[in-house]
Structure 1
Amino acid sequence: MSKKPPIVCLLGPTGTGKTAAAIAIAKCMDASVINFDSRQVYRDFPLITAQPDVEEQAACPHLLYGFLGTEEKMTAARFVALAVEKIEEVRSQGRLPILVGGTGMYLRSLLSGIAPIPEIPAEIRQQVLDRVKAEGPQILHTELTKNDPDYAAKIHPNDTQRNARAAEVFLATGKNMTWWHTESEHAPAPYEALKIGMKIDLNELTPHLAKRIGGMLEQGAVDEATRAYAKCSDGKAPGWTGIGCSELLAFLRDEIPLSDVRNMWIKNTRAYAKRQITWFKKESDIHWFAPGANNDIANHVEQWLAEFN
């Protein structure tokens, strides 16, 4: 039986140096970076979503960053289709695909297959959307905590898109998202993946997150959000729902003062990092490294590839 083609996956919570590790690997071999972060796909928020900067992107090819309009929706299914396309493109060039990001569901969907959730009837979808509009996503999250506590722990109460999706799936199928993602039959993984995780204590990570967010504000995050708002003022647009974007949107709409933006951004990012840490702890076959141990990571990848081949 022929081996599945190899890919490397760099994962972990936000702000742990995954891009730097990917570049370190790329310096040792021909490789291209493919994004699997659900927020870094948005074109109008390169700074706020911490997309690789010009210098980083010049170090090796970077794919699936900053290509989506603010009003467009990204889903796990769409990501898998795009990622497979880019992985095959990179492999055809004789390069190693390195997937980098923190959206665990996207990576799991790629490696384990998309849960075969049936199409949701339009009337049920509209019913859920009407509830979100009338009651807000928090009430759906409260209900989700009762019928699917594992999945509820992975998403924010204010995440309209994911809470609505979980509600409509449960209403239409009688099965929760955790069941669909773990118990239903998925297509086998199309690749042999080396999963490398950035391991750090949340309390140790928190000051780094605060420093990074402070730097984003100093570098022009408010101006970036202002330009994005001029293009798309719909606060329900998918691009505005991300952390950082939503806080700055509230400021632009005079709902909160600028002085509150930084603290709210830090608080929400820390909560998100906590959910990411919890998610990845449950994943199997992850080789853990401390953030910044980039030479060790590159050596590990080289050794794995040598043994693989």
Structure 2
Amino acid sequence: MTASSCGAVQAPPLVCLLGPTGTGKTAAAIAVAKRMAASVINFDSRQVYADFPIITAQPDEAERAACPHLLYGFLSADERMTAARFVELAMEAITCVQAQGRLPILVGGTGLYLRSLLSGIAPIPEIPDDIRRSVLERVHIEGPQRLHAELEKTDPDYAARIHPNDTQRNARAAEVLLATGRSMTWWHTQSDHAPAPFDTLKVGLRLPLAELEPRLTGRIDAMLAAGAVDEASRVLVRHPDPEAPGWTGIGCAELLDHLRGKSTLEQARALWIKNTRAYAKRQLTWFAKEPGIRWFAPGENQAVADCVADWLAVRQG
């Protein structure tokens, strides 16, 4: 006897398709959408930026035509996205999709965003102005790399997730530690509300890092062939501030240095590959600690679709 047959109200279904960069999550999501009425909702912190569709590997026109896609490419490069803001936007998108009678599929690789949505995080207190000013002064004098080096000692888990050149996130971590005496990792593990009201299926795509590496290199070369440098050049005209949040992403930061004459294109490419590999490694580590994921290999799209269909069938009794 199912919960619904007893009169209990089932929580609405939510599918989360996750995994490290370069594992083909978009293709797997579209395979699911071809089997049932579904909409894809992004939870990748870089694919929110409208200025970088190539460099952040956002779904192309053909992929977007296969089913509705939400929360992709809507934010300007000079705007900042936070976990709290993502949760607010994602809840709105999920509610909208469910009201249309469609299945929401969260797709991405930003583990903090997913955890924040499903488990909640405590709001960080307001930072006093004097502390914020002192940290920003340090950034301007010493650079974000110095703050990142300190962060590696005080909060290695969070340091591993952000780029040394990311001015905003390194400054944020420093000011939060100074103001509260607690690290960003501590705050991110504190929940101030009940878990999200969904019946959630988590499906993951992954490969051993050694097998994933050539895929990542090929993906970056494809981005360069598709016009990644020209894309970055156009954005630099509109957003010349190198500290704009959109520039802090992997690929964006390396190409920005190239365009500013700090590296050759080959050097930028090599660093882009290196940093992408390091990011994928961090993602694999993060998701390995996430409970209840049903894992598949890249390309097993029909098996992923079968998994979702079977899960929905069991729910419906």
TM band (smaller chain): over 0.9
1:46 equivalent in alignment to 2:62: no
Aligned to 2:34, the other structure's residue is in SS state helix
| 1:220 CA displacement | 0.8
Residues 138 and 158, structure 1, Cα contact 8 Å, conserved in 2 = yes
Partner of 2:134: 127
Partner of 1:214: 221
| 1:24 CA displacement | 0.3
Aligned to 2:32, the other structure's residue is in SS state helix
Shift of the 126–308 alpha-carbon distance from structure 1 to 2, 3 Å rule, reads farther
Partner of 1:233: 240
Aligned to 1:98, the other structure's residue is in SS state strand
Cα offsets for 1:221-276 (capped at 9, x unmatched): 11111111111111100111111111111111111112212111111111111111
1:177 equivalent in alignment to 2:184: yes
Q: Distance in 2 between matches of 1:165 and 1:210?
A: 31
What amino acid is aligned across from residue 230 of structure 1 in structure 2?
V
2:64 to 53, 57, 75: 57
Cα offsets for 1:81-100 (capped at 9, x unmatched): 11111100100000000000
Cα offsets for 1:52-92 (capped at 9, x unmatched): 01110100000111111111111111111111111001000
Aligned to 1:146, the other structure's residue is in SS state helix
Partner of 2:19: 12
Unaligned runs of 5+ in 1: none
Give the alignment's TM-score, normalised by structure 2.
Answer: 0.94
1:28 to 13, 17, 35: 35
Cα offsets for 1:198-240 (capped at 9, x unmatched): 1211111111111111111111111111111111111100111
Q: How does 1:67-216 map to 2 (within 5 A)?
A: 67-216=74-223
Aligned to 1:277, the other structure's residue is in SS state helix
Cα offsets for 1:267-300 (capped at 9, x unmatched): 1111111111111111111111111111111111
Cα offsets for 1:5-31 (capped at 9, x unmatched): 111011111000000000000000000
What amino acid is aligned across from residue 276 of structure 1 in structure 2?
Q
Q: Higher mean Cα deviation, 125-134 or 93-102?
A: 125-134
Residues 121 and 189, structure 2, Cα contact 8 Å, conserved in 1 = no
Shift of the 137–187 alpha-carbon distance from structure 1 to 2, 3 Å rule, reads farther
Residues 131 and 179, structure 2, Cα contact 8 Å, conserved in 1 = yes
Residues 121 and 190, structure 2, Cα contact 8 Å, conserved in 1 = no
Q: Distance in 2 between matches of 1:171 and 1:184?
A: 21
Q: Higher mean Cα deviation, 280-289 or 18-27?
A: 280-289
Aligned to 1:255, the other structure's residue is in SS state coil
| 1:158 CA displacement | 2.6
Q: Distance in 2 between matches of 1:61 and 1:183?
A: 33
Residues 45 and 81, structure 2, Cα contact 8 Å, conserved in 1 = yes
Residues 121 and 191, structure 2, Cα contact 8 Å, conserved in 1 = no
Residues 109 and 115, structure 1, Cα contact 8 Å, conserved in 2 = no
Residues 154 and 279, structure 1, Cα contact 8 Å, conserved in 2 = no
Partner of 2:254: 247
Give the alignment's TM-score, normalised by structure 1.
Answer: 0.96
Identity between Structure 1 and Structure 2 (%): 69
| 1:127 CA displacement | 1.7
What amino acid is aligned across from residue 14 of structure 1 in structure 2?
T
Q: Distance in 2 between matches of 1:79 and 1:184?
A: 16
| 1:32 CA displacement | 0.3
| 1:115 CA displacement | 2.1
| 1:183 CA displacement | 4.2
